[in-house]
Amino acid sequence: MSTLPENMIAVAISEPGAPEVLIPETRELPVPTDEQVLIKVHTAGVNRPDVAQRLGHYPPPKNASDLPGLEVSGTVVGLGKSVTRHKLGDKVMALTAGGGYAQYCVSHEGHALPIPSGLDMVEAAGVPENYFTVWSNVFDRGGLQSGENFLIHGGTSGIGTTAIQLAKAFGAIVYTTAGSDEKCDYCRKLGADLAMNYKTTDFVKDIREATDGHGIDVTLDMVGGDYVIKNWKVAAVEGRIVQIATLNGPSENVNFAMLMVKRLTHTGSTLRPRSDEFKTAIGDSLVKKVWPLLEAGTIKPIIHATFPLEDAAKAHTLMESSGHIGKIMLSVE
């Protein structure tokens, strides 16, 4: 391997604020700890938590980089002394606790995964954050089974396009909401059995009719706000709702009687602060159960646009406009 440089270009958050606070700067290369690998970044993914961090609402965990960026693809160029899963030169996709908006970043060896055959480096970088999140919350936490009714809000987001494809691949009946007829059409192309424009239709009414009153067995929600009670209304008896974000803010005046009568489970989680061991277990499950689907082309990450690293502000502007379908990426090489 060639000698590594002392410094790198990274995009930092100069202060909490609008996308323009994302400023390229020179930083020293991060040094991997015993169980980490150093990755020369090819592509980095842009995600909603990056936006929240930029606004000052989602500080990085202790000992994590202050740079945004939770997923990358690239080449392993450095090894911690205890690393056994990788060797120098390996091509990987990796979940990171931060630091992805840079030419080099570190990841725990168990969160850096082999790239499935058939995926290019841009597509590979669009996998970790969304696939770790969906697998952990829909299948592990929500317990989605073949034949069950599954609802995902925001079907054309990175999370949404991932959840639709994975749920369908594992035999669920998929329902989704999206903000335009065009987006609903795309959701159906991905496999959604029913896609509803939440701006023009009542998804509670539509789901009740479509399921003959049975309702939804598992809901993955990142909206919150008034969607909480709507999710309870459409839930089946013994239904499970998993909350992963609250883009519409907190929920008020929620009637818990409905939760009790239907024996619902409403849970939630965040991925970034979880332990290395927890994330490694998710990664191992993905390689075993999901990588064959990626290699067969049954599912794939949906890439909407790729910006140069120095144009991270433009990427965040696009994300906040909700004008995208699928993933927004940053090209580092």
Mean pLDDT of the chain: 96
Q: Which of 101-105, 177-181, 268-272, 289-293 has the lowest mean pLDDT?
A: 268-272
pLDDT digits (tens, 9 = 90+) for 135-187: 999 999 999 999 999 999 999 999 999 999 999 999 999 999 999 999 999 99
More confident residue, 251 or 124: 124
C-alpha span between 99 and 104 (Å, rounded): 8
What are 242's two structure tokens?
């998993």
Confidence (pLDDT) at 143: 97
pLDDT bracket for residue 42 (50, 70, 90): very high
Look at residue 120 and tell me whether its pLDDT is greater than 60. yes
- Edge-to-edge strand list for the sheet holding 194-197: 194-197, 173-178, 149-153, 216-221, 235-243, 265-268
C-alpha span between 110 and 276 (Å, rounded): 8
Confidence (pLDDT) at 249: 83
Look at residue 38 and tell me whether its pLDDT is greater than 70. yes
Enumerate domains of the chain plus CATH numbers: 7-127+301-331 (3.90.180.10), 131-268 (3.40.50.720)
C-alpha span between 230 and 246 (Å, rounded): 14
pLDDT digits (tens, 9 = 90+) for 180-224: 999 999 999 999 999 999 999 999 999 999 999 999 999 999 999
C-alpha span between 141 and 242 (Å, rounded): 8
Report the relative pairing of strands 36-46 and 327-331 from DSSP bridges. antiparallel
